[in-house]
Amino acid sequence: MSASITAVADLSDRSIMGDDRLVRTSRVAYVVAVISLIAAAFVAWKQNDPHGLAMIWLQNGIFVLTLSLGAFFFVMVQHITNAGWAVAIRRIAEAQAANLTWIWVLFLVPMFWLLITNREWNGFGHGLAIIWPWADMAHLTEHSPAEGAIVAQKTAFLNPTFFMIRACVYFAFWALATRWFLSTSRRQDQTGDATLSTKMRYAAAPCLILFALTSTFAAVDWIMSLSPAWFSTMFGIYFFAGTCAGGFSIIAIGCLRLQAMGYLRGVITAEHYQDIGKMIWAFGIVFWAYIAFSQYMLIWYGNLPEETVWFLARQVGDWAWVSVALIVGHFFIPFLFFISRWMKRWRGTLAFGALWMLAFSWIDIYWLVMPVVPHDVATFTTYDALAAAYATTSTGLGNPLNYLMLVGFIGLSIGSATGRLSRGSVLCRRDPRLNESLQFENI
């Protein structure tokens, strides 16, 4: 209809079918991942700190998990709204989301290993207690009685057996759902059956409900229960906002990389980039800040010690700088950076902004997972005394293990996603709304 479409979409095989170029990228990513994981194993062996290794593993595991969860949410939300514009980029999100078919290995295998061996970790208790203190109640009660008394009432929920069952349920749902969305979309590539689009739209509704429940409970289980006496009813949604920041950014970067490699020429245009940018801005920046502030303000104003200790742990010593960096770097700077439409439409600025958001969603997860509430917090009479006693608390950001594990896990994630893309079309090429997506223009 519109005569102003100047860029003609290139729908030749060279442009939309995965081939050697993606296989090569995938191999490079795997090689980088394996090298840095070997280096990480060496560094971990040298450092000989099982607790530190477990925490770094958990933090980076959750980071790559959020990237795929964000992409999974993106896929479902486009289906449920019957969105035409996103058809041109949906396959990239589907491939990224389908990493959830194997990410369970990073979580369940070490968890079961900790559970089965059930070793005494010096100073942390048995088995899973090396990460989650509630897993060894005897040790927790002996170590800090006040916290133990609170957590004792939560053991019906927080116990290793139920915890493992829940983890299996989350991963089973994520793996099956993302696999189904990718394979159904691929079936449509072959058959061109328009009813598959309707089917995916119907499936998106219950899947979104299950996604909300599983991601909330996963955040509670794996992150919030690191400080088992603490609670926040906004925690799940905060985690979700973080997944959007990372997940949408990786989709943007994926689209930019594929185009730079010569795929999807004229298929993805500045119009699509602007809309991905809008989603990063709305969900990952503004919504994240809104939720983060709402959570902070309620706890700050209520001023109840069992709630404020969690933020206390994040503002003593060097953690104060990380907290400030998050406010500035996860909200103020990208908010102003991405507010103009041109910053979302130009590839260079979009790539920079998306990488920036990826970096800060990693820091966000780090800030959630790593700080430890001082065990003797109840013995201080004033905040200043506590701040002075813990003034030298280190964030551990200088530990190279963080970055080696990060590169390793991200490498596996990229290698797997690009490998998946190389085995089929990189475009939902027979989706009935493809033409709408190709001609899409922002008003």
Partner 1 sequence: MTTFSPQTQTSSPSPSPKSSLLPLYGMMAEFETPAQIMEAAKKVNAAGYRFWDCHVPFPVHGLDKAMGIKRTILPLLVFGAGMTGTIVGFCLQAFTNAASFSIWALVWVTGYPFLISGKPLMSVPAWIPIIFELTILLSALSAVGLMFLMNGLPRLSHPLLSNIRFRRATDDRFFIVIESRDPKFLRSKTEAFMKTLGAKHIEVVEDR
Residue with tokens 């896929």: 75
Q: How far is the CB of 86 from partner 1 (least distance, A)?
A: 17
Q: How far is the CB of 1 from partner 1 (least distance, A)?
A: 6
Q: How far is the CB of 219 from partner 1 (least distance, A)?
A: 23
The dihedrals phi and psi of 393, each to the nearest 5 degrees, come to -55, 130
Residue (113 or 335) nearer to partner 1, CB: 335
Residue (202 or 300) nearer to partner 1, CB: 300
Residue (297 or 372) nearer to partner 1, CB: 297
Q: How far is the CB of 71 from partner 1 (least distance, A)?
A: 28
Centroid of chain to Cα 305? 30
Q: How far is the CB of 368 from partner 1 (least distance, A)?
A: 20
Range 48-53, long-range pairs (CB < 8 A, 24+ positions): 50/121, 50/130, 51/121, 51/123, 51/124, 51/130, 51/131, 52/396, 52/399, 52/401, 53/401
Nearest to 428 by CA among 13, 26, 92, 73: 92
DSSP secondary structure of 89-126: HHHHHHHHHGGGGTTHHHHHHHHHHHHHH-PEETTTEE
Contact yes or no for 56/405 (Cβ under 8 A): yes
**What is the CA angle 143-363-412, rounded to 5?**
100
Residues that bind partner 1 (CB under 8 A): 1-5, 293, 296-297, 300-301, 303, 339-341, 439, 441, 443
Residue (72 or 85) nearer to partner 1, CB: 85
Helix then strand then coil, % of the chain, to nearest 5: 75, 0, 25
Q: How far is the CB of 303 from partner 1 (least distance, A)?
A: 6
Question: What does DSSP assign to residue 348?
Answer: H
Question: What does DSSP assign to residue 283?
Answer: I
Q: How far is the CB of 443 from partner 1 (least distance, A)?
A: 6
Residue (31 or 324) nearer to partner 1, CB: 324
Q: How far is the CB of 54 from partner 1 (least distance, A)?
A: 34
Nearest to 366 by CA among 327, 394, 395: 395
Residue (115 or 234) nearer to partner 1, CB: 234
CA–CA distance, 410 with 29 (Å, rounded to integer)? 8
Residue (132 or 288) nearer to partner 1, CB: 288
Nearest to 159 by CA among 225, 86, 256: 225
Helix, coil or strand: residue 339: coil
The total of other beta-carbon atoms located within 10 Å of residue 190's CB is 11
Residue (14 or 341) nearer to partner 1, CB: 341
- Could you give the angle at which helices 87-97 and 160-191 cross, rounded to 10 degrees? 140
Residue (168 or 286) nearer to partner 1, CB: 286
- Contacts with 350 (C-beta within 8 Å, 6 or more apart), sequence order: 252, 256, 273, 276, 277, 343, 344
Residue (38 or 324) nearer to partner 1, CB: 324
Residues, the chain = 443
